[in-house]
Amino acid sequence: MTHPTTPRHTGRADAALLCLLASTALAPLTLLPLQAHAGPLAFDAALQQLQQRSDQLAASRNAVESAQLRRDAMQRLGGPVVNLSGAAYTYNANLDVDLNPLNRALPGELSQLPPQLAGSLAQMPHLPPGYTLNRSKSDTTASVSAIWPIYMGGASHAARGLLDAQAQEALADATKTSHEATTLLVQRYFGAQLAQRAAVLRESALATIEQHDAAAQKMLDAGVIARVERLQARSALEEARRNARKARDDAELAATALTRTLKATDPVTPTSPLFVLSQPVEPLPHFIDTALAHHPGLDKVAAKKEQATQLHAAQEALRKPQVFAFGQRQLKTGRDADWVAGVGVRWTLWDSIDRNALAESSNRQIEQAERTGAQAQNDIALLVEKRWLALEQARRAYFALQPGLELADEVLRLRISGLKAGTSTTLDLIDAQVNQAKAQTERAQAAHDYVKALADLLEACGLSEDFGKYMARADALKVE
């Protein structure tokens, strides 16, 4: 782009590309919709729609619910367990008995009896060499048994604590995902606003160049201007058409990205304007303290430390004796029902696993989580300070552009008057229009940078849900 102090023949096409109609150059530009059938949507409604339709957020919520349900399932861990067992059976048993030894020993035994008795027994038939006993039966059996851990060394409590910590980690991950999704929505929502405004400027510039082109042809026919000025106008027109099409494509792409982010069926037109707060936000210590209290990354580190602590407790519980009560009774009427009840103790005196090494390992995990948490606090504090400064720089940059915009408006007004009085040329007017368009574009970009910096700061502090509150506090001129 050119400035009044640069040679008029350099950058003329790009300058004409952004110029506005002289009759409306001093009036504020209004934002035109990208498509007539696009659905207007405010930012708070877009955020609500994102929370309802985002697959990423739904997946993170499912992870939290899964962890919580797993913890609920273990609520009564360590309580009594009652089992009912039953069986239907049939059997056939055979027992072969060898009688040959008895047949061989029987004569000798008979000889020792009285003659009268031995004679009568001698007339008995001989025993067979063997005999097979057979027994078969079909029956059913049922019993109920119970076991109740009385003392487990704290293993049950450690298991529930571990599941609690895992649920806290899932919640921290879901919170982080939600904050990142909000920041992404801010970037795409207000990025679509900025792209749309750039497209309006390009289209307005094209309309202006078309008028200049027609006027230049008439002036050439009348012999008022040289042929080179006519060629400059024609070249500027073609450049304006190319850039207007590119700006329109960029705006449509930004609108498509926003529409797909919200999973909308129709194209979305953002209606909430870019904004800037005239006064600085809360002091840096406020945001650092908030970040150290609410950042989901620190919550995740704390959950990891708690998991390591509970694992250590569970390993220590295995060193202690376990006491439990048990009982079993056959489900059978009458006094002949079998039953048993008692108290048992189990204590592992020797194990092939080195429990001392496991204990040291879990202690190292706890220390690792502590060190990670300390480092994370330093990193988060530094990140918050960096983003807080970026936000303040964007705010100052936005208001620092105000004098330049006022100057551009005044110079354009003078060039319009000079053109009517014959003291300025068309190229002077184009330069003034370029400077004004450039100042307007830079101011809109500064507002976009402020909004993005605000979203980044709130994400770093774990306050992404407060973005709407800051947007409502905006007291500076909103960029429409």
**Range from 73-87, 341-355, 458-472 that averages highest in pLDDT:** 458-472
Mean pLDDT over 98-104 rounds to: 66
- Residue 17 pLDDT > 50, yes or no? no
The pLDDT, as a whole number, for residue 18 is 32
Nearest residue to 464 (alpha-carbon basis) of 455, 472, 473: 455
pTM of the model: 0.75
Q: What letter does residue 33 receive in the DSSP assignment?
A: P
Position 292 confidence tier, pLDDT thresholds 50, 70, 90: very high
- Residue 166 pLDDT > 80, yes or no? yes
Instruction: Express as a percent the part of the chain with pLDDT over 90.
Output: 42
- Residue 6 pLDDT > 50, yes or no? no
The pLDDT, as a whole number, for residue 114 is 63
- Residue 35 pLDDT > 50, yes or no? no
pLDDT digit string, tens, across residues 435-472: 787 788 888 889 999 999 999 999 999 999 999 999 99
The pLDDT, as a whole number, for residue 19 is 33
322-330 and 39-41 beta bridge pairing: unpaired
- Residue 28 pLDDT > 70, yes or no? no
The torsion angles phi and psi of 479, rounded to 5 degrees, stand at -85, 105
Position 343 confidence tier, pLDDT thresholds 50, 70, 90: very high
- Residue 403 pLDDT > 80, yes or no? yes
pLDDT digit string, tens, across residues 187-219: 999 999 999 988 888 888 788 778 777 877 887
Mean predicted lDDT score pLDDT of the chain: 81
Q: Is 263 helix (H, G, I), strand (E, B) or coil?
A: coil
pLDDT digit string, tens, across residues 304-336: 999 999 999 988 888 889 898 989 888 877 667
Distance between CA atoms of 166 and 163, rounded to whole angstroms?
A: 5
Residue 216 neighbours by CB under 8 Å, 6+ apart: 225, 229, 230, 233, 234, 426
Q: What letter does residue 320 receive in the DSSP assignment?
A: S
- Residue 27 pLDDT > 60, yes or no? no
Distance between CA atoms of 191 and 321, rounded to whole angstroms?
A: 64
Looking at the chain, the number of H-run helices and the number of E-run strands are 13, 6
With tokens 């964007």, the residue in question is 394
- Residue 22 pLDDT > 80, yes or no? no
The DSSP string of 78-123 is: TS-EEEEEEEEEEEEEEEEEE-HHHHHHHHHHHHTS-HHHHHHHHT
The structure tokens listed for 160 are: 């529930």
The DSSP string of 372-407 is: HHHHHHHHHHHHHHHHHHHHHHHHHHHHHTHHHHHH
